[in-house]
Structure 1
Amino acid sequence: MSLCLRTALIGSLSAHLGLSKSRLETLSTLLIGLIHGRTVNLTHIASHCHGSACHASKYRRLQRFFQYVRLDQAVIAAIVVRMLKLSRPKCLALDRTNWKLGRKDINVLVLAIVTRRFRVPLLWSVLSHPGNSNTHQRIALLQRYLALFEPSSIDLLLADREFIGADWMRFLVESRVPFAIRVRQDLVMALTDGSAWSIATLLRTKRARHAIHTLDLLLPDSRLPVRLAAKRLAGGEWLIVVTNSPEPRRALQTYRRRWGIECLFGDAKTRGLNLEDTHLTDPAKIDTLTAVLTLAMTWIYKSATDSMGMKAIARKTHGRRRKSWFRTGFDALRSALINTPDTAAALWSESCPKRLRSP
């Protein structure tokens, strides 16, 4: 592993994470090995540790890192925002990613930034149970975000049909968090006159495809005002979002960006860093691994920005991009790590903040 790479990573992260030099060296090894080897498996990453120690000793060193080190999510979030210059209002997406290792369920609730170019984790909670998150867990995650950033930093919070509930939406409205959450047709809402109807009944006369229909509604049990925007898709299915935005049509159109978090999970797993290769199952260790993965993805996106500048990625004849922004940065950074480590080191050290302040 190049000395200049280790020096750049250690020097920039030492000001923020409060780790010893030995732990910072291990973290730099994890970041470089994760990207270079395309896996979070510690056996493979151990081969990137410098020194003459045997492979088993290097592997044990990585294990001890996850056993004893906990990275502050607030610091990681601040580094992400500063490195990718995301201080302006941005869309956030809320979703879960889960997998199994033997009989053990690993379930992570993720709040991610999704922009036209970037999709990167910001804050997360490792759940102690399989299946959906509950209202308390969602509120706790958003409260952690609001302790770091103003509500005005959110353009829209996007979430799928799993993330519904009167108490949850009431919290978002009262916290002034703009949101667009997809809902089911059988959800019962109240009209402004107080009468309760299912959404399917309210939309029964709306026939036109591709037209956006809007309604003013009240949250059940609270009478807080929200708006509904719906559009019938080509296959006949309804796309319905509930929002507190004054522009429900725009909220419905922006909802398509929610797919960015699904792409993020693909980038973190089979299309990129192979997160499911890990044999870690302890929630605290998964938390640390997610923080390392977030730093690696931030470096990858910074590489994509450096490679492409203001240019757009070319499209194929069917209209889709030849590569994702993630894949563009991933390929460029892996090449730099092998062929021009000075370039990779400069890319990190020049973009990582020297000191953190409130975004």
Structure 2
Amino acid sequence: MSRLPDALAATLARHTDLSNDRRLTLAVLILGFVQARTVNLTHLAGAFCGPAKLSSNYRRLQRFFQYVRFDADWLARTLVALARLAPPYELILDRTNRKIGARDVNLLVLAVVTRRARLPVLWEVLDRGGGSTMAQCMALIGRFVALFGEGSIKLLTADREFDGNQWFEFLVENDIPFAIRVSACLHLRLADGFRGTLGRLACTPTGRRRLRTAGGCFAGMDQRFDTALRFGVVNRAEDPIIVATNRNPRKAISAYKGRWQIECLFAETKTRGFNMEDTRLTNPAKLSLLLALVAIAMAWSLACASALIGRSDIPRAKHGFRRKSCFRTGFDALRQWITYQPDIAVQTWQRIWRRRTNPDHRTIRVV
């Protein structure tokens, strides 16, 4: 076990320009996240080998978060490579927030999801509580397209928080397929002449058919987008589910159901995995670095799941659902390997980093 951090750090030498000491600290942090199931630096200070005092190790971790920064573009490409995610990508946009004392910890996250895996690739630490702005959402999607190219997005899903005329115009204009839930109180205009709220049509079979078939747009959108949107509806008396899309509205409803995966992702970064809520960090740059390290640990766990089960399905219980998620399958196996079979853990770590065939040494900087 004492040689495991050294083995991980040696692999990182080709991919970072950090000093040996900071590469070792990076390896200890990721191992600590997995083994201790916490990101609290006080708990992780005991993960270093050697005679140094706990207080010295704790200060070493603090200095790492104070001075080390990842390049966000390099990190996004790296995470996609580590998890072996192939384009075009299904994306989910959502926000998670909590309070540390009087401070808001508010993260806008763009995640890539597959049938098995879900992984954050781009995010922004918001400087306030409450929802994100349209400009922030557009900037995040714009960064993704700039990194992975036009046509790299198979579908973008999001909840009702992410609406607005400028936002929908941006998605349509850039031909980004989306399935986004919208509020029934929004006003729209249809090509067949209807003017009014979505809720007025969503409550009748005829109205739902008009929403599916007649192109339309929201009130206030430019005339260029008059027939750009269609709407899928699941009628519920208390709160109908209305999904706006620029593709097939029937498929949009089914696709929107997959949005729940990002809630599972947030749970895996918290109580089901790394317990990110244990941190007391509030500085945006440090929080962004923390999520980057957690994302790398998640990619390692997913690789362990693939090594363990291959292409076979995860066993299901009598109720039909999988007994464990792909992440937890790999995460639990990785924790056991680190303790009892470190060679397997190291081999999996080395294998996922070999996928980065053109390492860029200007990726991690010290400030």
TM-score of the superposition, structure 2-length normalised? 0.91
Query: What displacement does 1:213 show?
Result: 4.4
Partners of 1:42 and 1:62 within 8 A in 2: yes
Equivalent residue number for residue 339 of structure 2: 338
Equivalent residue number for residue 27 of structure 2: 28
Query: What displacement does 1:248 show?
Result: 2.2
Equivalent residue number for residue 254 of structure 2: 253
Give CA-to-partner distance per residue, 1:59-115, whole Å, 9 cap, x none: 110000000111112122112211222122121000011111111110000000121
Partners of 2:212 and 2:231 within 8 A in 1: yes
Query: What displacement does 1:233 show?
Result: 5.0
- Which amino acid counterpart does residue 148 of structure 1 have in structure 2? L
**Which region of structure 1 is more displaced relative to structure 2, 228-237 or 119-128?**
228-237
**Which region of structure 1 is more displaced relative to structure 2, 37-46 or 149-158?**
149-158
Query: What displacement does 1:14 show?
Result: 2.9
Equivalent residue number for residue 176 of structure 1: 175
Query: What displacement does 1:346 show?
Result: 0.5
Give CA-to-partner distance per residue, 1:4-54, whole Å, 9 cap, x none: x33443233333332222111110010000001000001111111122101
SS at match of 2:15: helix
- Which amino acid counterpart does residue 330 of structure 1 have in structure 2? F
Partners of 1:105 and 1:130 within 8 A in 2: yes
- Match runs of 1:211-250 below 5 Å: 213-219=212-218, 220-223=220-223, 224=225, 225-232=227-234, 237-245=239-247, 247-250=248-251
Equivalent residue number for residue 156 of structure 1: 155
Query: What displacement does 1:195 show?
Result: 5.0
The separation in 2 between residues aligned to 1:249 and 1:20, in whole angstroms, is 53
**Which region of structure 1 is more displaced relative to structure 2, 21-30 or 80-89?**
80-89
The separation in 2 between residues aligned to 1:140 and 1:110, in whole angstroms, is 12
Q: Which runs of 5+ in 1 are unaligned?
A: none
SS at match of 1:70: strand
- Match runs of 1:127-138 below 5 Å: 127-138=126-137
Equivalent residue number for residue 278 of structure 1: 279
Change (3 A) 1:159 1:357: farther
Equivalent residue number for residue 363 of structure 2: none
- Which amino acid counterpart does residue 346 of structure 2 have in structure 1? A
The separation in 2 between residues aligned to 1:243 and 1:201, in whole angstroms, is 19
- Which amino acid counterpart does residue 349 of structure 1 have in structure 2? Q
4+ residue runs of structure 1 moved beyond 4 angstroms?
Answer: 233-236
Across the aligned residues of Structure 1 and Structure 2, the Cα RMSD in angstroms comes to 2.2
Task: Give identity over the alignment, percent.
Answer: 45
The separation in 1 between residues aligned to 2:7 and 2:237, in whole angstroms, is 52
The separation in 2 between residues aligned to 1:52 and 1:66, in whole angstroms, is 22
Partners of 2:33 and 2:297 within 8 A in 1: yes
The separation in 2 between residues aligned to 1:248 and 1:357, in whole angstroms, is 42
Q: Which runs of 5+ in 2 are unaligned?
A: 361-367
TM-score of the superposition, structure 1-length normalised? 0.93
